[in-house]
């Protein structure tokens, strides 16, 4: 489904598409829900949706301007982080250029698996104004990398070549492996050793290169790796601390490392337990999920055990509304 002005779907309120704010100067943009990989660990189960969505770039920019006006910052980081792979977005270059033209935007970062970035795209991304590419990369072992990505054509050698080309460009690079304890422990060490090689080459200056190891978390609606358990963050950070000392490398990254700070939040006009009247605007990604319009600014993810007619008005109870996060989930009141 194409989401544009005609769709009347607001871009505040949904987790899987639109504009996501968590009360900082970083604003997430989610322009599509399709992916070229089917990673075994994907926390949002991308690639398995019944319905997929794509936002028109002009519509994104219109709503991004609304978000920036509310947040009143002049050092915004726009983080393009879809529930899928951004470089399946046809108008990626146009969107990046339009984001870069906004005076409040300081940084443009993109979350990607990197597999669709061709050599000729590096210059395009550089000239369009991309600051940093955050690339998920979990293993230097070809067989394990193919297994984790769910793609028999995943090419580790090409990914390493891509890293080299990004580092030689004006863009920064962040490699973001997930630590699956008991599964890729040795690969995490190899990736740290790779990072040390980049450091020797001088790529650690001015945040040109960073390594951001992530903790594997199990989500109810995500895919799960067999025989791999999530570990508490206390344990995860303790292990990172040991590796930091052993390899003399910074691994514990936080908001301050990216100049992220608190700012005005985009506050949803609802609280948990409130009953709201919404109009059903579309089916959602999965069965039993709909997109409801609360008003002209806010969408609500509506959960229902029964089929709902598009255009109908229903009552929902707000069941999810986190502090400093502009997301709303409601449950149909039967």
Q: Which CATH superfamily is domain 2-258 in?
A: Aldolase class I (3.20.20.70)
Residues facing residue 301 across a β-bridge:
291, 329
For the question of whether the overall pTM of this predicted structure is more than 0.85, the answer is yes
The SS3 assignment for 200 reads helix
| CA distances for 172 relative to 30, 97, 303, angstroms | 21, 17, 40
Q: What is the largest CA-CA distance in the chain?
A: 63
pLDDT tier for residue 302 given thresholds of 50, 70 and 90? very high
Residue limits of CATH 2.40.50.140 in the chain: 275-332
Where, residue-wise, is CATH 3.20.20.70 in the chain? 2-258
> What is the separation of C-alpha 190 from the centre of its chain, rounded to a whole number of angstroms?
25
Residues 201-252: tens digit of each pLDDT: 999 777 899 999 999 999 988 999 989 999 999 999 999 999 999 999 999 9
Q: What is the pLDDT of residues 264-275, one digit of tens each?
A: 999 999 999 999
In CATH, the number for domain 275-332 is 2.40.50.140
């Amino acid at each position: 489904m194409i989401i544009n002005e005609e769709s009347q779907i607001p871009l505040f309120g949904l987790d899987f598409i639109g504009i996501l704010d968590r009360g900082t100067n970083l604003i997430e943009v989610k322009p599509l829900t399709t992916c070229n990989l089917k990673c075994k660990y994907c926390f949002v189960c991308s690639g398995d949706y019944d319905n997929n969505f794509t936002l028109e770039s002009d519509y994104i920019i219109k709503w991004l301007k609304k978000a920036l006006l509310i947040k009143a910052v002049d050092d915004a980081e726009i983080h393009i982080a879809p529930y899928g792979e951004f470089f399946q977005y046809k108008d990626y270059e146009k969107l990046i250029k339009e984001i870069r033209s906004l005076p409040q935007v300081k940084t443009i970062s993109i979350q990607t698996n990197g597999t669709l970035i061709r050599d000729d795209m590096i210059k395009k991304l550089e000239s369009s104004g991309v600051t940093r590419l955050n690339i998920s990369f979990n293993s230097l072992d070809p067989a394990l990398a193919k297994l984790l990505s769910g793609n028999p054509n995943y090419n580790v050698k090409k990914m390493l070549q891509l890293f080299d080309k990004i580092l030689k460009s004006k863009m920064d690079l962040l490699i973001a492996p997930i630590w699956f304890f008991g599964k890729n422990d040795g690969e995490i060490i190899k990736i740290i050793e790779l990072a040390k090689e980049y450091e020797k080459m001088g790529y650690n200056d001015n945040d040109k290169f960073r390594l951001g190891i992530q903790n594997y978390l199990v989500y109810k609606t995500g895919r799960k790796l067999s025989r791999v358990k999530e570990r508490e963050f206390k344990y995860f950070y303790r292990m990172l601390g040991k590796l930091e000392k052993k390899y003399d490398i910074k691994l514990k990254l936080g908001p301050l490392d990216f100049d992220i700070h608190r700012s005005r939040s985009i506050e949803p006009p609802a609280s948990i337990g409130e009953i709201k009247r919404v109009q059903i605007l579309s089916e959602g990604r999965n069965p039993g999920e709909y997109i409801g319009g609360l008003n002209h600014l806010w969408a609500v993810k509506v959960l229902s055990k029964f089929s709902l007619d598009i255009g109908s008005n229903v009552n929902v109870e707000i069941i999810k509304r986190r502090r400093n996060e502009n997301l709303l989930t409601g449950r149909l009141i039967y």
